[in-house]
Chain A
Amino acid sequence: MSKGFRQSQSTLHTWSGLLVGWVLFVVFVAGTAAYWREAINRWAQPELPRIEDPARVLRGEQAFLTQRAPDATTWFITVPSDRSASGTVFWVPGAKEKPGKARGDTLAMIDGNGQPVVARETRGGDFFYRFHFDLQYLPVIWSRWIVGVCAMFMLVAILSGIVTHKKIFRDFFTFRGGKGQRSWLDGHNAVAVLGLPFHLMITYTGLVTLMTMLMPWAAVANYRDPTALFTELFPQAAPVARSGKPAPLVDLTVLLKDAERRLGAPVEYIQVASPGDAAARVTLSQSAHGTLSSYPPSLSYDGGSGRLIWASPPAGAAMLTAGAMIGLHAGRFADAPLRWLYFLCGLGGSIMVASGLVLWTVKRREKLPDPARPHFGFRLVERLNIGFVAGFPTAMVGFLWANRLLPLEMEARAQAEIDAMFVFWGALILHAFVRAPRRAWVEQLGIAAVLLLALPVYDALATSKGLPATIAAGDWTLAGVDLTLLAFGLGFGWAARAVHRRAPAKRHSRARAMVLA
């Protein structure tokens, strides 16, 4: 391979990584946290009883909707698993009912006892999941374009990085510590190469999740009516009109049992069209937890008799491929060991992006004409690195603290948690710009460590779901969240200490350089 080509790839790698690195870091970190979306949802509502019998929740959901929205056009019901915080119901109001002003007016949560949830209002882990592709405070379509373009840059950075890394196999196991730029490069290469299959997969499949937005031309050229495409991709039983004859709806738990037997997998979503009418139709969709594809099959039943009337046809090769790719990205199928591996790979990806960002400054610091007064571009990158690499994870912990500390009865509490996180993050970015860089790193990493280590302590003292209680109850999902927070607290503490301990040596050498000058 010619040196010129490799050099051009190296330049491409550097700039494609740096220009979007901060957004990529945020997307990677939030996406990694989202692998524990359900666990964080449970942690965020410690008042809720653990779900031991999903059928009991479904009975509660049906009873709630029968009483609250008997004339709705459609009910949408989530069947929880034992990992979920609660069951969710959503309905489209019928002609007789006034449409809800806010989404919350037609949405409700049902707890493990089958009762409407009485718990703090929060987005929990769902926030991190949505944030990693919808961002916040921006129109969704803009956010997805931003994330999509950044993911394309990421793919370019990965591929050009592979070309740039000359001794990818020879240096596979090599780490030379304590050697400044060489150590940073070895570390960056290690997390990149060790998790390379994951990094390639997650970036490419991430683009696949946005493919209809990024590359709409095939659909636009072939389908004048977008609903025709949708109908072809996601076939459903033929729609029925409301007959006007009232009829009780069949017990949904009976249909659940029958559908799970036929599908050979758990059901996650139930849609009831025209509930309470003789023409009612119930469609049950398989959970993505049991299948690699994100487009699992559905079954439709007559709502009055409970007779099976329709089954979705086997998916075509294109849909199966797209479904499997999106399924691989989201990892919903993963059991606990695989989920941990997904999480660790996501962590590796986050460290890869972060170390690449820091490497940019480490590499250029040595070439600065006056290290005490770096040029504007260098200062900007250095400060943004602190505000994002140390600041964003710290702000995420701030979100968790807001979940614990905001008044329970507060108006628009879920949004307030999110706002609190961004206000905190804004303050941390500001802090990164006004403090000396090394002090800012130490302080932000230290704040993250203290906040992380204090959270499980607060849980043990102020909630009924502290570590001793959850371990005693064998509730390893909640215990796992607190133990992970502790582990991260120790990790951030170690990082803060490591940066702090390097500071005197640097100051010393600078002072000596001044004396010598």
Chain B
Amino acid sequence: MIAVTFAVALAAFLLFAFATDRQHRARFGEALPARRQSVLRGGAWACVAIDFMLAVLAWGGVFGPVGWIAMLMAGAAVSFILLNFLLPDRANRR
């Protein structure tokens, strides 16, 4: 359950990142259309909300919110490392 909580938090921040023009261009090599930006942001916020429920299921009502914030930070940190150091930058390669 904790691994799933982490995966959803990571997905949330990857979606937030892809919803920015700079990261979208770097990953997909093209500009970000406005409609896709809304869809990506919506998906990211949905993941954040689902992650809260997963964290409460994993840690209970008292510790769940703490675990949720911790997982969001971990998801943000891992997405930062992935985007800047591990995934290829298609915009700069061109």
* Residues of A near any B CB (own CB < 8 A): 170, 172-175, 177, 190, 194-195, 197-198, 291-292, 328, 333, 335, 337-338, 341-342, 344-345, 348
In the assembled complex, B34 has its CB within 8 A of some CB on chain A: no
In the assembled complex, B66 has its CB within 8 A of some CB on chain A: yes
Supplied contacts A172-B76, A345-B73, 16 more A-B pairs, CB within 8 Å: A170-B20, A172-B17, A173-B13, A173-B17, A173-B20, A194-B73, A195-B73, A198-B70, A292-B63, A292-B66, A335-B59, A337-B67, A338-B63, A341-B70, A341-B73, A348-B77
30 contacts between A and B (CB under 8 A): A170-B20, A172-B16, A172-B76, A173-B16, A173-B20, A173-B79, A173-B80, A174-B22, A174-B84, A175-B84, A177-B84, A194-B77, A194-B80, A195-B77, A197-B69, A197-B72, A197-B73, A198-B69, A198-B70, A198-B73, A291-B62, A333-B63, A337-B67, A338-B59, A338-B63, A341-B70, A341-B71, A341-B73, A341-B74, A344-B74
CB distance from A252 to the nearest CB of B (A): 29
In the assembled complex, B2 has its CB within 8 A of some CB on chain A: yes
CB distance from B42 to the nearest CB of A (A): 16
Asked if A190 contacts B66 (CB within 8 A), the reply is: no
In the assembled complex, B56 has its CB within 8 A of some CB on chain A: no
Asked if A173 contacts B84 (CB within 8 A), the reply is: yes
Picked from B59, B67, B83, the residue with its CB within 8 Å of the CB of A173 is B83
Give CA–CA (A190, B23) in the complex, Å: 15
Question: Cβ of A328: which chain B residues have Cβ within 8 Å of it?
Answer: 66
CB distance from B23 to the nearest CB of A (A): 6
Asked if A342 contacts B84 (CB within 8 A), the reply is: no
The interface bits of chain B over 1-26 (1 if a CB of A lies within 8 angstroms of the residue's CB, else 0) are 01000000000010011001011000
Q: What residue in chain A is nearest B72 (Cβ atoms)? A: A197
Give CA–CA (A173, B85) in the complex, Å: 11
Asked if A338 contacts B84 (CB within 8 A), the reply is: no
Interface residues on B, range: 20 to 34
CB distance from B7 to the nearest CB of A (A): 13
Give CA–CA (A338, B64) in the complex, Å: 10
CB distance from A53 to the nearest CB of B (A): 27
Give CA–CA (A335, B58) in the complex, Å: 11
Q: What residue in chain A is nearest B14 (Cβ atoms)? A: A173
CB distance from A241 to the nearest CB of B (A): 40
CB distance from A190 to the nearest CB of B (A): 6
Question: Cβ of B69: which chain A residues have Cβ within 8 Å of it?
Answer: 197-198
Give CA–CA (A194, B69) in the complex, Å: 11
CB distance from A204 to the nearest CB of B (A): 14
Picked from B16, B62, B70, B85, the residue with its CB within 8 Å of the CB of A345 is B70
Question: Cβ of A173: which chain B residues have Cβ within 8 Å of it?
Answer: 13, 16-17, 20, 22-23, 79-80, 83-84
Question: Cβ of B85: which chain A residues have Cβ within 8 Å of it?
Answer: 175
Give CA–CA (A335, B2) in the complex, Å: 11
CB distance from B6 to the nearest CB of A (A): 9
Give CA–CA (A337, B63) in the complex, Å: 12
Picked from A170, A190, A197, A338, the residue with its CB within 8 Å of the CB of B80 is A190
Question: Cβ of B67: which chain A residues have Cβ within 8 Å of it?
Answer: 337-338
Give CA–CA (A292, B16) in the complex, Å: 31
From B76, B79, B85, name the one whose CB has the most chain A CB atoms within 10 angstroms: B76
Question: Cβ of B66: which chain A residues have Cβ within 8 Å of it?
Answer: 292, 328, 338
Give CA–CA (A195, B75) in the complex, Å: 11
Asked if A175 contacts B70 (CB within 8 A), the reply is: no
Give CA–CA (A29, B77) in the complex, Å: 19
Asked if B70 contacts A338 (CB within 8 A), the reply is: yes
Question: Cβ of B74: which chain A residues have Cβ within 8 Å of it?
Answer: 341, 344
Question: Cβ of B59: which chain A residues have Cβ within 8 Å of it?
Answer: 335, 338
